[in-house]
Amino acid sequence: MKIAVFSSHAFEKNFLIAANAAYSYEMVFFEAALSPQTALLAKGFDCASCFVSDDLSAETLENLHRAGVKLIALRSAGYNNVDLEAAERWGITVVRVPAYSPHAVAEYAVALLLSLNRKTHRAAARVHEMNFSIEGLVGFDLFQKTVGVIGTGRIGTVFAKIMKGFGCRVLAYDIQPDPALAGEVEYTSLEQLYRNSDVISLHLPLLPETRHLIDEKAFQQMKPGAFLINTGRGGLIDTAALILALKRGRLGGAGLDVYEEEEGVFFCDLSATGLKDDVLARLLTFPQVMITSHQGFLTREALQNIAKSTLKNISDFESKNENPNQVFSKTHLVKSKLPGPAATLSRA
């Protein structure tokens, strides 16, 4: 097997090399993101391994097919960047890493919440400037506050349990409530969750039906001063409505690890060129907003698991083993009545 690793980052390279020791595949690392143009780099490779930010549109997939690629091994759980119908049309198998560390992302959501609430990032910056004033840094106790968790899958469950440990009341909403969590959280309607939560955290996939779940109406239903944390997907929030809510002073804080228009911005160093995205630039002007560049997954444990699972996925493909990590288009699932992973459509 020859593997072309696209969007290869220094932070993951050694984990992939270590995981490959058990297989000794020929692995070539390309820093370039996958796109219709760069797909041609994969000429002569059997597999393209892709990052969450890679473009796997129909055009890219057609070019990968022409290059001879038979397998897309995603180094992510999410696959909303993959045109699955096109992949099937070109006979390209798509595999992903559905679960690598729910703790990494859940703990990161907590980190965003704590920093934003207690303003530790601003406090540290002040102290480094020799400004030891603590004016304007007042936060609130999380103890006995109400936290709303939307999406109680792997990550949402861990987040809910951490919040319980802080002594919070946890409300939850999920289209498939988890009976095992019922004793710990109170499942409720979305509206009740919005109306009663001091903090709302998003842990559901981006799907056509969840796009802009948090819209102007949702912001109007939220408690004034509520905190919104999003480590899910940028498209879950209508950014224009978020900006309006911030301008109206309705939100106490927004901690965002994801953004609707990440492409070409997140994972890139734009410090010398600046931002072309005016919406993101506007968001960055709000002191109660904290944005990070999609790094919820960025722990050693998660990277190791991603690397191991990616190599195992590739090996299973080579050995023609059935693989629960294979993803299918909705059309394929309907036709074959498969209960495959796309039925739950987890995307990370």
Catalytic residue status for 103: no
d(CA 160, CA 166) in angstroms, rounded, equals 10
> Checking phi first, is residue 205 left (phi over 0); if not, alpha (psi -120 to 50) or beta?
beta
Amino acid letter, residue 307: A
Give the nearer residue to ligand NAD in terms of CB position, either 48 or 149: 149
State the DSSP string of 16-66: HHHHHTTT--EEEE--SPP-TTGGGGGTT-SEEEE-TT--B-HHHHHHHHH
Q: Which of 65, 203, 262, 347 is catalytic?
A: 262
- Closest contact distance (angstroms) between CB of 292 and ligand NAD is 9
* Binding residues vs ligand NAD (CB under 6 A): 77-78, 102, 105, 150-156, 173-176, 203-206, 209-210, 231-233, 257-258, 294, 296-297, 344, 346-348
- Closest contact distance (angstroms) between CB of 159 and ligand NAD is 9
Give the nearer residue to ligand NAD in terms of CB position, either 38 or 53: 53
- Closest contact distance (angstroms) between CB of 194 and ligand NAD is 13
Q: Which of 65, 154, 294, 347 is catalytic?
A: 294
- Closest contact distance (angstroms) between CB of 325 and ligand NAD is 13
Give the nearer residue to ligand NAD in terms of CB position, either 46 or 55: 55
Give the nearer residue to ligand NAD in terms of CB position, either 66 or 330: 330
Give the nearer residue to ligand NAD in terms of CB position, either 45 or 266: 266
- Closest contact distance (angstroms) between CB of 105 and ligand NAD is 4
**Any idea what DSSP says for residue 92?**
-
Catalytic residue status for 248: no
Sequence-ordered list of residues with C-beta below 8 angstroms from that of 34, at least 6 positions apart, any chain: 6, 7, 48, 50, 51, 54, 55, 56, 60
d(CA 237, CA 4) in angstroms, rounded, equals 34
Amino acid letter, residue 127: V
Q: Which of 75, 154, 233, 347 is catalytic?
A: 233
Catalytic residue status for 212: no
> Which single residue is written with the structure tokens 């987890």?
346
d(CA 348, CA 256) in angstroms, rounded, equals 15
Would you name the residues annotated as active-site residues?
233, 262, 294
